[in-house]
Structure 1
Amino acid sequence: MIQFKPFPYHRGDLGKEPTIVAHDCHTEELCSNVNLSRLLEAVPHEKIKTKTPSQKWQEAFNTHKISAPELVELFENDDSDCWIVLHEIEDTPMLRHLFLEMAAALSSSLLPTYGRVKLCTGSLFISRGAATTPYHMDYGSNLLLQLRGKKRFLAFSPNDPELVSKQSLREFFGGEANPPSLQYDPSFEQKALILNLEPGLGIYMPSTSPHCTETRNHDLCVTVSLSFVNPLADQLRRTSLFDLKLPHLRFAPDGLKNGLVTCYEAFRQARGNYRPRHKSFKPMTPPLTY
């Protein structure tokens, strides 16, 4: 069971803004130490990365590779701060059923504009101690479920121009993972949806919703995420790229921008020289039925 819980001052359609989620997906079979160890062994090592745990929210987000022995030591040492992420695991046998359930909840609960899982990628985040995630935004919309431990989560509206400017979108979709114009300010906290995530709670965030997190104790914290691209996110990406490449034509209607970039990308794809920036997003196999 995964249920979306819009709060009283929720603005617009469900799916347009960050939204609280309730679920019953936190099972011992999934996130016990033994099964997490098995999962770390089952996932290809190149899909596992770590981050310096104690980054500040205003710092640039970064991840790096880790050797298998270092990963085991980091995971098993209860006294160490850690931040581990497993990428592109939507087809992993231990988690596939959960990702299918998450995708089905999105498609049945949200308007197709926001909830159609066109392409997706699954991730699992494991953290402990003073582990933080700096202020950043993602291309995909995200459904995150807390499976174990506790995490403080701040999510911000992607529709507030003070938080997400058009310049930030141009920089981000132009290839800047950490857009220079996307800067965290403590005053933003009064605009945040602030959650103390614990098992049974989660959050949905539309594409480009800024967010940051912190784990506050040495109990292991486990969060699962299905990140997906819906039609609206693709339109936003294409119009932002148009504005970046042709700034003197920014006055053109967004529909025209989207159509021209769509045609250009289809032409490049037909010629075999188009490589999407976000290659980790793929159709879930076998295909989902809507």
Structure 2
Amino acid sequence: MTAHRPISPPSGAVFPAAARALFAQAYPDQPAKLTHGMAGHPLLSLDALATLAERMPSGSVEYNLGKLPLGVRPEETPSNGLTLGETIRTIESNGSWAVLKNVERDPAYASLLDGALAELEPIVGEKTGPMLHREAFIFLSSPDSVTPFHMDPEHNILLQIMGTKTMTVFPARDEELVPAQKSEEFHGGGHRNLVWQDGFKARGTAVTLLPGDAIHVPVKAPHFVENGPTVSVSLSVTWRSDRSVAEGELHSFNALLRRRGLPVGAVSAAPERQGLRRLAYRVMRKLGA
């Protein structure tokens, strides 16, 4: 995996100095509520996003009805019966949720991603090395929509652009929330949704986001999202690091060992330092194991 193109700072700061300081204290392992200056950007209006969505490949969009149980199974997620353009243009009343993936493939939206990450790159580089595989996602939600309990493989900052939402974030590396075998399945291509139990809720921290707020979500920190009473638009800027890549390799190695009835190893809080196990995995994968 290679680093993305070099990036240059924007003309105006996306993250003010106080937000960058909070991010530096939290990154990479703790969530943190931040602020940003991207609310009201014309590329993030509903009309602009509907136009963007209609020119995106079908594999880069996902949308469905928005009022879902926290623990819905992926195969049980209901369709809303609309086209994507219709979904976005009428999202205030159609009870839906949508995500536009990899919007950085569009040059204008690539500039948004680059501008935001340029300010964080020095902090990230000092702690987890170069930013790898940088991506941007845009989430649109009808009033009162719910994004079920799930986890993501990237370092992530979610910027709230329009409307309000509450994200409840849970500790990463809690094996009661995310059993080891779920992590192994996830890194092998399994779905992001997790099994929900009502007793989990007390372990989470609920963070309400207004336009101009943002939240740093650590790699694989479980979370769910409850939208407020108006349409919500959020921009997610993400990247991988040697740490996140290493974690994926080590869980994949454990999956390989488990399938063969061999003992699995622990994945530490600093998996990038587990060089011997990573090397063993790469050798076995190269040999077709």
Normalising by structure 1, we get a TM-score of 0.78
Identify the structure with the greater helix proportion: 2
CA RMSD of aligned residues (A): 3.0
Structure 2: which 5+ runs fail to align? 1-13, 268-273
Q: Give the match for residue 213 of structure 2.
A: 201
* Larger deviation, residues 40-49 vs 150-159: 40-49
Counterpart of 2:189 in structure 1 is 175
Q: How does 1:236-275 map to 2 (within 5 A)?
A: 236-247=247-258, 248-251=262-265, 254-265=274-285, 267=286
Change (3 A) 1:20 1:208: same
Matched-pair contact (CA < 8 Å) for 2:47–2:89 = no
State the partner residue of 2:64.
51
* Among 179, 203, 207, the residue aligned to 1:191: 203
The aligned counterpart of 1:139 is 153
Give deviations 1:124-169, integer Å, cap 9, x for gaps. Answer: 1111123211111112221211111111111112133332332321
Number of aligned residues: 262
Name which of 37, 53, 71 aligns with 1:24. Answer: 37
Alpha-carbon distance between aligned partners in 1 of 2:21 and 2:72, rounded to the nearest angstrom = 31
The residue aligned with 1:121 is 135
Instruction: Find the partner of 2:28 among 4, 12, 15.
Output: 15
The whole-number CA distance in structure 2 between the counterparts of 1:201 and 1:115 is 26
| Residues 193-232 of structure 1: pairs in structure 2 closer than 5 A | 193-217=205-229, 219-232=230-243
Query: Could you tell me the percent identity over the aligned residues?
Result: 23
Distance 1:64 1:113 in 2: 41
- TM-score, length of structure 2 as denominator length: 0.79
In 2, the alpha carbon distance for the partners of 1:83 and 1:151 equals 13
- Check 1:72–1:127 CA distance in 2 against 1; reply closer, same or farther (3 A cut): same
Instruction: Answer whether contact 2:172 2:220 (CA < 8 A) is retained.
Output: yes
Compared CA separation, residues 95 and 245, structure 1 to 2 (3 A): same
Q: Distance in 2 between matches of 1:136 and 1:208?
A: 8
